[in-house]
């Protein structure tokens, strides 16, 4: 529309530029200006940002001013959650409305909430525009809810672990907003993290200045709806098999550092019965790859996995018919494993995969299979009243990943500095296709959210100009501040998901902030409700606490 060109005349290629974390979730005015200028002069145009311009255009997380109330019955079961949120979206619209509705949807899980009310609004200010930062819409309400549950556990005289276990959802749960959770091992996440960290032996029993805190979280594994009005499949995969190229998988999915190319090759190899090294992936190019909705909402492993299974099934059926004829048995009795076809009843009847492919391509030609993925669509309905609710279609997903984190901190009582010593994480990501990649995602999530909890803060003057727009003044955690990290992939397999998979890149972001805040409370008895928790805030809080006790 902006360039006044048909879509089939625009080619998008994605170079290896690294992570997005939400910052590349929308086109900026500079992108369009560069494209228009390039057409005008007939040459490539590069946009270069100064560091202060990066801060102004990075599309960071929305600041939220939240009020939350939770009602428990006498046995400690949640009866209601009331959530009010004013979201600061900056000077332009961006993702504001989507994030706003997501903050409302995120109060329904990972605990059973039979009654819920959310009143949310997005306001314009003279600040830089915010966007779809990693863990979109979940970080803010998770911070409020997990800390409030810790407070309530103290009020009723039980451990936060007991309260959260008592209210944790189970497989097959349907929220009052009609969110459906086909499978969860959230309780196992809580149990594993608590056991491995020694939480129950340490909580409330450490010396003053040292503390331990826990929190849980979850996130979607893709969306049920597109962000624009369309009903085409969210992901399409084309697999081509021939004697020259082996197996080639075409999909325009963008690998922005999360490793989807590796995972797609692994899943294709598994589905076709060949080796990972046999699969070539062509991605990140709209001219060479088939349609994909995009790298957001932790969707690619689930979505591409479903499409790969469909495409592989088509190819396998064609090859099984040829192999069956060559071996003198029925096609429905054939299995494929380790690059060989064999009869499940007579394993001696076997033949190499390459020979079958060679016969097929010599008699029929290049072998192809196409697979599509369209997620199930659930309407957002208030089941207690049977009515539609504005924005309630937001948050639905084919399945959900879960995480529990327990942080141990040491607060320097003289300087106010908080040192994170240890974090124990247990996550439900379904069947881990690539465990090393999962560990990388989780560790990256922990460091990512730790920055927001303890260091990162955009300081603005009254006119909206940023005062600390440099990496000298804008503090971020480095490897020096990184705590000891122990992660566990809990035993899990979602039977409704392709290969049993779930997300692993945004769920682990959710518990970090409240776990740190709860740990600080356990250490010094001060509950912080504003981020980041800087040394100055700690010293001020300790001084006020000392004055009150005196």
Q: Could you report the per-residue pLDDT of 56-76, keeping only the tens digit for each?
A: 888 889 999 999 999 999 999
Residue 57 within any structural domain of the chain: no
Q: CA-CA-CA-CA torsion for 31, 34, 37, 43, nearest 10 degrees?
A: -140
Residues 444 and 547 in one domain: yes
Pairing of β 340-343 and β 246-250:
unpaired
Instruction: Express each pLDDT in 482-525 by its tens digit.
Output: 999 999 999 999 999 999 999 998 999 999 999 999 999 999 99
Which residue, chain included where needed, has tokens 């059926």?
A: 317
Residues 304 and 357 in one domain: yes
Question: What integer pLDDT is reported at residue 43 of this predicted model?
Answer: 96
Residue 240 within any structural domain of the chain: yes
pLDDT band of residue 476 (cuts 50, 70, 90) is: very high
Question: What integer pLDDT is reported at residue 458 of this predicted model?
Answer: 93
Beta bridge partners of 229: none
Range of the domain at 544: 180-221+399-550
Beta bridge partners of 152: none
Distance CA 175, CA 114 (A): 7
Check which CATH number belongs to the domain holding 491 and give it: 3.30.365.10
pLDDT beyond 90 at 55: no
pLDDT beyond 60 at 272: yes
Residue 358 within any structural domain of the chain: yes
pLDDT beyond 60 at 550: no
pLDDT beyond 90 at 360: yes
Distances from the Cα of 471 to the Cα of 54, 366, 399, angstroms: 11, 53, 38
Residues 240 and 305 in one domain: yes
Question: What integer pLDDT is reported at residue 228 of this predicted model?
Answer: 65
Length of the chain: 550
Residue 545 within any structural domain of the chain: yes
What percentage of the chain reaches a pLDDT higher than 90? 77
Q: CA-CA-CA-CA torsion for 315, 321, 325, 330, nearest 10 degrees?
A: 130
Give me the numbers of helices (H) and strands (E) for the chain, helices first please.
13, 18
- Whether the bond into 278 is cis, omega within 30 of 0: no
Residues 468 and 361 in one domain: no
pTM score of the predicted model? 0.95
Residues 349 and 267 in one domain: yes
pLDDT band of residue 110 (cuts 50, 70, 90) is: very high
Q: Is 545 left (phi over 0), alpha (psi -120 to 50) or beta?
A: alpha
Distance CA 101, CA 268 (A): 36
Average pLDDT over residues 180-189: 97
What percentage of the chain reaches a pLDDT higher than 70? 99
Question: What integer pLDDT is reported at residue 163 of this predicted model?
Answer: 98
> Residue 238: which of 370, 366, 372, 367 has the closest Cα?
370
Residues 443 and 341 in one domain: no
DSSP 331: G
Hey, is 189 helix, strand or coil? helix
pLDDT beyond 90 at 225: no
Residue 36 within any structural domain of the chain: no
**Can you say whether the dihedral through the CA atoms of 336, 338, 339, 340 is positive or negative?**
negative
DSSP 422: E
Count: domains in the chain: 2
> Residues near 527 by Cβ (< 8 Å), separated by ≥ 6?
147, 151, 517, 521
DSSP 500: G
Are 547 and 539 within 8 A, CB to CB?
no
Residues 409 and 531 in one domain: yes
Question: What integer pLDDT is reported at residue 209 of this predicted model?
Answer: 97
Question: What integer pLDDT is reported at residue 332 of this predicted model?
Answer: 94
Encoded tokens for 150? 């810790």
> Residue 508: which of 487, 491, 480 has the closest Cα?
487
Question: What integer pLDDT is reported at residue 324 of this predicted model?
Answer: 95
pLDDT beyond 60 at 121: yes
> Residue 248: which of 274, 279, 288 has the closest Cα?
279
Residue 421 within any structural domain of the chain: yes
Distances from the Cα of 120 to the Cα of 135, 177, 508, 514, angstroms: 18, 16, 25, 21
Instruction: Express each pLDDT in 9-21 by its tens digit.
Output: 888 888 887 777 8
pLDDT beyond 60 at 138: yes
């Amino acid at each position: 529309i902006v360039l006044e060109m048909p879509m089939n005349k625009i080619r998008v290629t994605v170079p290896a530029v690294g992570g997005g974390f939400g910052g590349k979730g929308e086109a900026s005015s500079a992108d369009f200006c560069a494209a228009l200028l390039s057409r005008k002069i007939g040459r490539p145009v590069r946009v270069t940002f100064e560091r202060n311009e990066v801060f102004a255009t990075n599309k960071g997380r929305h600041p939220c001013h939240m009020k939350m109330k939770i009602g428990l019955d006498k046995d400690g079961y949640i009866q209601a959650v009331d959530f009010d949120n004013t979201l600061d979206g900056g000077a332009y619209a961006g993702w504001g409305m989507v994030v706003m509705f997501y903050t409302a949807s995120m109060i329904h899980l990972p605990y059973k909430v039979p009654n819920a009310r959310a009143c949310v609004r997005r306001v314009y200010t003279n600040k830089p525009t915010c966007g779809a930062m990693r863990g979109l819409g979940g970080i803010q309400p998770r911070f409020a809810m997990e800390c409030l549950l810790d407070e309530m556990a103290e009020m009723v005289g039980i451990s936060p672990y007991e309260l959260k276990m008592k209210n944790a959802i189970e497989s097959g749960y349907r929220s009052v907003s009609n969110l459906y959770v086909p499978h969860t091992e959230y309780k196992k996440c809580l149990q594993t993290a608590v056991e491995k960290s020694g939480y129950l032996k340490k909580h409330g029993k450490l010396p003053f200045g040292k503390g331990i805190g826990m929190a849980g979280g979850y996130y979607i594994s893709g969306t049920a709806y597109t962000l624009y009005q369309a009903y085409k499949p969210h992901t399409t995969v084309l697999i081509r098999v021939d004697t020259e190229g082996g197996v080639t998988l075409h999909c325009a999915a963008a690998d922005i550092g999360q490793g989807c190319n590796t995972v797609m090759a692994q899943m294709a190899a598994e589905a076709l019965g060949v080796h990972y090294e046999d699969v070539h992936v062509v991605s990140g190019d709209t001219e060479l790859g088939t349609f994909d909705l995009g790298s957001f909402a932790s969707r690619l492993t689930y979505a591409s996995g479903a499409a790969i299974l469909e495409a592989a099934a088509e190819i396998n059926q064609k090859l099984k018919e040829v192999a069956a004829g060559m071996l003198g048995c029925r096609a429905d009795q054939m299995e494929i494993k380790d690059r060989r076809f064999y009869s499940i009843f007579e394993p001696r009847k076997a033949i190499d995969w390459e020979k079958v492919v060679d016969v097929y391509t010599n008699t029929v030609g290049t072998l192809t299979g196409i697979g599509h993925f369209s997620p199930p669509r659930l309407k957002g309905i208030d089941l207690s009243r049977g009515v539609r609710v504005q924005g309630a279609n937001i948050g639905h997903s084919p399945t959900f990943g879960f995480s529990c984190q327990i942080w141990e901190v040491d607060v320097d009582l003289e300087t106010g500095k908080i040192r994170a010593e240890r974090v124990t994480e247990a996550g439900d990501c379904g069947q881990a296709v690539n465990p090393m990649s999962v560990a990388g995602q989780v560790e990256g999530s922990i460091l990512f959210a730790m920055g927001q909890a303890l260091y990162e803060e955009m300081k603005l003057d009254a006119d909206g100009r940023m005062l600390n727009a440099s990496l000298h003044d804008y503090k971020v955690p480095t490897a020096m501040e990184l705590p000891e990290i122990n992660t566990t992939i809990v035993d899990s397999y979602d039977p409704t998901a392709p290969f049993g998979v779930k997300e692993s890149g945004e769920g682990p972001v959710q518990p970090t902030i409240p776990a740190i805040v709860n740990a600080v409370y356990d250490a010094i008895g001060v509950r912080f409700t504003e981020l980041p928790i800087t040394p100055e805030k700690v010293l001020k809080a300790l001084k006020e606490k000392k004055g009150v006790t005196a």
